[in-house]
Structure 1
């Protein structure tokens, strides 16, 4: 050898699957945040959506985990995003991770509006302060969510429910 080290390009990133998982998580988080941003103006008619820290990351991690046993993995995922607010469910959007792949499983994500304590505080601010319009149109999400999985390729209907 002439003293030069031959580097394996794949040895640079020894945890390739971990890096790939981080990229997928980031992509899912971006998709969810974009969905909430669009819904804020269209379906929710509010000026702000307050999202608890790490909520979208936790949802993304659970979605990745549920995709591990699927034939196409995350690429076969279609996800319906809903919001449960004041005892009604509002469909916000349907997200498709990879539109070039026929979906093999469907997830239904139900985000929830935060507890009535926030509503009472918000009502107090809208009636007792000089900022009524600012707080009237603020929606605060709960850190809890529901994720339901349904397989689309099996003759046996399989549903997995994860309440987080």
Structure 2
């Protein structure tokens, strides 16, 4: 029996007859491999999104997500706002009848944090704030208006914040101030230059939404 003859007596197809089916099967195999590769990439991307975002559904931005992505911009804006507030306070010596007004870095950080907190749910964020800056000197009817700051003058304000800052009335500073006052007779100093004031790290923030007249929020920051 010939080696090319099968057990049942039939002969295998000639190379010319078998070549086309082999080419077809190889093309199908390559196409299948490409499809499998695409499926694996899709699965890997899906797993990456799940690990990074929690779930595929999280790829759509919710309110909290959008606020998260905007938060660094809000922090930068808040830094600019508190710089303006510090400048306004430093220029308010004639309003507060003092030679110098001292404010700590701690107070600046607290104001920035409070403004960010008050702006979280606002439609324009901190850009929509109109800020009234006041100083309470501790005496009855001694609330002094220092400045009004529109964070973005090109926008119609969406909420109004009144910051009521307080003078330091306890602790070491009043004692130091009294000591230096006792070193010179008051007649040797002008009425305006014998007083250096320091702001307390505690203040009050009053928020009013300008598009909702019934809502008023008062928060103490200690």
Q: Same fold (TM over 0.5)?
A: yes
Counterparts in 2 of 1:51 and 1:119: CA distance versus 1, 3 Å: same
Q: Identify which range, 27-36 or 128-137, moves more after superposition.
A: 128-137
Partner in structure 1 of residue 3 of structure 2: none
Give TM-score scaled by structure 1 length: 0.79
| Structure 2 partner of 1:91 | 145
Q: Which residue of 2 aligns with 1:100?
A: 154
What does the per-residue CA deviation read over 1:30-70, in whole Å, with 9 as the maximum and x for residues that have no partner?
11111112212x31232211112321121011111111111
SS in structure 1 at match of 2:105: coil
Structure of larger gyration radius: 2
Whether the 8 Å CA contact 1:123–1:136 is kept in 2: the answer is no
Q: 2:164 aligns with which of 105, 110, 118?
A: 110
More strand as a share of residues = 1
As a proportion of its length, which structure holds more helix? 2
Deviation at 1:129, TM superposition (A): 5.1
Q: Which runs of 5+ in 2 are unaligned?
A: 1-67
Tell me which residue corresponds to 1:47: 99
Q: What CA distance in whole angstroms lies between the structure 1 residues aligned with 2:84 and 2:138? A: 25
Alpha-carbon distance, 1:121 to partner: 3.2
Structure 2 counterpart SS, 1:148? strand
The CA deviation at 1:133 is 4.5
Give the structure-2-normalised TM-score. Answer: 0.60
User: What stretches of structure 1 of length at least 5 have no aligned partner?
Assistant: 1-14
- What is the CA–CA distance in structure 1 between the aligned matches of 2:128 and 2:168, rounded to whole Å? 31
TM superposition shift of 1:130: 8.5
User: Which among 178, 188, 207 is matched to residue 123 of structure 1?
Assistant: 178
CA–CA distance in structure 2, aligned partners of residues 30 and 66 of structure 1: 18
Partner Cα distance (1:22, 1:76) in 2 = 14
